[in-house]
Amino acid sequence: MGKSMRTKIGVFILIAALIFLMIPRNASADGIGVSARSAVLLEQETGRVLFEKEAYTQRRIASITKIMTAILAIESGKLSEKVVVSSRAAGTEGSSLYLKEGEKITLENLVYGLMLRSGNDAAVAIAESVGGSLEGFVEIMNQKAEEIGMTNTIFANPHGLDDHENHLSTAYDMALLTQYAMDNEIYRVISGTKIHKAPNETENWDYVWRNKNKLLTSLYDDSTGGKTGYTKRAKRTLVSTAERDGMTLIAVTLDAPDDWNDHISMFNWAYSTYERTLISPKGILDDIKDEPYKGKVKLNRDLIYPLTTEEKENVKSRIQLIKPPDKSNWDDPSAFKNPVGLYKVTLDNQTLIKVPLTYEISEKKEKGFWKFFRDLFFIGTGRDSYG
């Protein structure tokens, strides 16, 4: 092979390599581009995972750890109590509220400082107040993680600093934690606060903390809160929430150089792709025609699920009832033991929803126009009353 030919082949290989390197490494099958090494998008009400990328891989999580610290402080019931800042808390490195040893500040204000300004000193002060010690609080953190179902999470501190090798979680676990925390009204308020003032007993000026979450403060109109994070080893981490048309989404990214745009991209894709869909309204099920269950089996909550347009056409529901008591006992309500059955919603042979059905001896039935109006607004799903 001549020198000229070898040169041409070498140039061709170089060009091919460069083209390969230019292909975005963050492309996904769903058409969403995310820079994060790990990401997940979760719907709050149902917990449905709408998007994932290495969502179950353990990684460092930095200050999004503080979501756990915040919810445990809120659940302690001590928010109005004053905390005396210890030397250990005041001396905590990294992001800080600049608390002073001996200073007194309410637990509630510490949580605001923790979430808005990511104060590591606030995290330690909270841990010592709620858990008796930092180490005792970490035990509580791990107990709560187990309770929530965070099976791939190990907490070693209340702030997320890289001072322990075994302080790890996953994008999915952090979404579960956020879903749990967002069920608490106080957490939702604090997480969604843009600016908070707190009295400073050691100075003649008040603390003023502005939220570091740019999605909430400027970048995304539908943002409702979240928590930022960064350490040298974890890189950028971010949890954020958004709400549009009644659907609340939770986005989590770990090690994401372009996290703001990652979250905006995931949110916009989901809101244009999925819709909260009423599969069946709560109340007496009219589908059941056979005695003794006719007019007496009740669905106790609206069944709502995020679905694509195509999924709405394919979702199926099925009512499964237990064998009724002997006919001679049908007049005795105590003969019917609740629950009397299950309402199952499936898509592509996978169960989306499974809820119990109860036996009701009396129920005012909707009549006339209002029943007609209600029935217009839930989708028909080909329900099978038996099976």
Q: What is the pLDDT of residues 35-94, one digit of tens each?
A: 999 999 999 999 999 999 999 999 999 999 999 999 999 999 999 999 999 999 999 999
> Which entry of 35, 38, 53, 66 is annotated as an active-site residue?
66
Letter string b/e over residues 323-350, b meaning 16 or more CB atoms within 10 A of that residue's CB: ebeeeeeeeeeeebeebbbebbbbbeee
Over residues 277-286, the pLDDT tens digits come to 999 999 998 8
CA-to-CA distance for 216 and 175, rounded, in angstroms?
Answer: 18
What whole-number percentage of the chain has pLDDT above 90? 74
Gyration radius from the chain CA atoms: 27
Two structure tokens written together for 51: 């998007």
Provide the terminal-to-terminal Cα distance of the chain, rounded to the nearest Å.
Answer: 74
- pTM given for the model: 0.83
Three state DSSP letters for 102-162:
CCEEEHHHHHHHHHHCCCHHHHHHHHHHHHCCHHHHHHHHHHHHHHHCCCCCECCCCCCCC
The pLDDT value recorded for residue 1 is: 52
According to DSSP, the β-strands at 275-280 and 223-231 are unpaired
Contacts of 341 (CB under 8 A, 6+ apart): 297, 319, 320, 321, 322, 356, 357
The pLDDT value recorded for residue 30 is: 53
The pLDDT value recorded for residue 31 is: 65
User: Is residue 383 a contact partner of residue 319, using CB atoms and an 8 Å limit?
Assistant: yes
Within 252-320, residue ranges assigned H as helices are 259-273, 309-314
What whole-number percentage of the chain has pLDDT above 70? 85
Residue 18 CA, distance from chain mean position: 39
* 118 labelled catalytic: yes
Phi and psi, residue 272, nearest 5°: -90, -10
User: Is residue 256 a contact partner of residue 37, using CB atoms and an 8 Å limit?
Assistant: yes
Over residues 238-294, the pLDDT tens digits come to 999 999 999 999 999 999 999 999 999 999 999 999 999 999 999 998 888 889 888
Q: Is the pLDDT of residue 370 over 60?
A: no
User: Is residue 263 a contact partner of residue 214, using CB atoms and an 8 Å limit?
Assistant: no
Domains defined for the chain, CATH in brackets: 38-273 (3.40.710.10), 277-376 (2.30.140.30)
* 4 labelled catalytic: no
Q: Name 306's bridge partners.
A: 276
Over residues 158-197, the pLDDT tens digits come to 999 999 999 999 999 999 999 999 999 999 999 999 999 9
CA-to-CA distance for 87 and 78, rounded, in angstroms?
Answer: 21
CA-to-CA distance for 180 and 104, rounded, in angstroms?
Answer: 30
Average pLDDT over residues 84-110: 96
Residue 70 CA, distance from chain mean position: 15
Let me know how long the chain is.
Answer: 387
* 63 labelled catalytic: yes
Closest CA to 66 of 165, 166, 167, 151: 167
> Which entry of 118, 240, 265, 317 is annotated as an active-site residue?
118
Helix, strand, or coil here: 372?
helix
Q: Name 229's bridge partners.
A: 237
Two structure tokens written together for 149: 């179902």
> Which entry of 35, 38, 53, 63 is annotated as an active-site residue?
63
Q: Is the pLDDT of residue 378 over 90?
A: no
With bands split at pLDDT 50, 70 and 90, how would you rate the model's confidence at 28? very low
Cis bond before residue 292 (omega within 30° of 0): yes
The pLDDT value recorded for residue 218 is: 97
